[in-house]
Copies of this chain bind each other. A is one copy, B any other.
Amino acid sequence: MDSIFSDRITDVPRSFIREILKVALDPAVISFAGGLPNRELFPAEEIKKATNKVFSMHGKDIFQYSNSEGYLKLREYIAERYHQTKNLDIPVENILITSGSQQGLDLLGKILLNDGNGVIIEEPGYLGAIQAFSIYRPEFFPVPVSEEGMDTQRLRKIISSHKPKLMYTVPNFQNPSGISYSQENRLEVSEILQETNIILIEDDAYGDLRFTGESKQSFKDLLPDNTVLLGSFSKTIIPGFRLGWIVTPKHIMEKLIIAKQAADLHTSHFTQSIIYQYLKDNDIDKHISRIREAYGNQCRAMLNSIQNYFPPSVTYTKPEGGMFLWAELPQNVASLDLFDLAVKDNVVFVPGDPFYVKKMRTRTLRLNFSCVDEGTIQIGIRKLGNAIRNLLK
């Protein structure tokens, strides 16, 4: 029997992270597996206030159908903030509000990718991007990333031999690895891309969450005409409203709006109004600094515990921000085997496999530190260290 499904959907990897997260729901389990912001830091009272202000200030228009581009005042706020924080001048017309950054990835894949087009993706890379682009059946070209940034030698080689169309990058505190591109690496990557027509998708979901080190230049600044920049309120305010945005050159915006209309007409004007009111009435930098402090403390606690409890043969990244770090086990040890052992001792994490387009039975693992307090981090990392030692025996 022929499949009733389109070819495109049969190619999409099913997320096995969701299966892991089901295990993590057991309160007895210490979970480093999630990818969630810490709920304790959600500005619940302020959002409630903003909501009631929206109710009293706006008429019934916040309940009506609205425009596909998004709430103008919110887009103006986003443009103004880019100006203030990054010295980027973004015309408001070039900002589209999306139902989370994930929708940005879907819309961009939809309007840019034909079957078989080349997409450069970081290795390890963000699973949500791999899934979103997979729908449009590209050929993925993974380029390794490390604490310096992207492997530029490999990047040059892929570009010259495969003429890829798109490149996807998370240059700040990457999911899953926690790495950031150095300023030198950004300059070199920009130089390489400058001579091509490759569209660079710069996903900056975590950029505000720097707890140490210096801010680096955005690719949108280095390569303005080639770069599509994705932003999100999910990591700095709340994820549940599903609000993100795309900053894109004008010629791409026209097609994006057509795709947005076909995808869901528009993103809720109600939640956009609430977020805008929240931003207007509150000191967002003060709020973000609280998140930075908490995540910074938790990251340091995790790094200290790893140093204390993991065998020295395990290597790991030292993130300057974000929510994740990345560890690599010694040769001949698969992180999936470690997972099976650790779950018996009530500790879970995400084995690296889903973050690679092709590799299986990797030695890598993603550890989330945003949702676990410092004491629990110590207990969990100690357990994990024991499991690693047992596996190495």
**28 A-B pairs, CB-CB below 8 angstroms?**
A4-B165, A4-B199, A5-B255, A6-B117, A6-B136, A7-B114, A9-B110, A9-B259, A37-B64, A40-B60, A42-B60, A44-B55, A48-B55, A64-B238, A65-B240, A66-B240, A98-B264, A99-B264, A99-B267, A100-B264, A134-B262, A241-B268, A241-B270, A242-B265, A242-B268, A264-B264, A268-B268, A270-B271
When the two chains form the complex, which single residue of B7, B9, B44, B197 contacts A258, counting CB atoms closer than 8 Å?
B9
Docked Cα-Cα span, A113 to B4, in Å, equals: 9
Contact A240 B269 (CB under 8 A): yes
Contact A240 B102 (CB under 8 A): no
Q: Does A192 reach chain B (CB closer than 8 Å)? A: no
Complex: how many Å from CA A128 to CA B242?
22
The 7 closest A-B pairs by CB, nearest first: A63-B238, A63-B240, A9-B111, A99-B264, A103-B264, A39-B60, A131-B262
Which one, B102, B112, B135, contacts A4 given CB within 8 A? B112
List of B residues within 8 angstroms of A8 by Cβ: 110-111, 114
In this assembly, does A239 line the interface, its C-beta being within 8 Å of a C-beta of chain B?
Answer: yes
The count of residues in chain A whose C-beta lies closer than 8 Å to any C-beta of chain B is: 73
Question: In the complex, what residue of chain B is closest to A270 when comparing beta carbons?
Answer: B240
A36 within 8 A of B: yes
B61 adjacent to A114 (CB under 8 Å): no
Tell me if A152 counts as interface (CB < 8 A to partner B). no
Contact of A262 (CB < 8 Å), options: B106, B242, B252, B267: B106
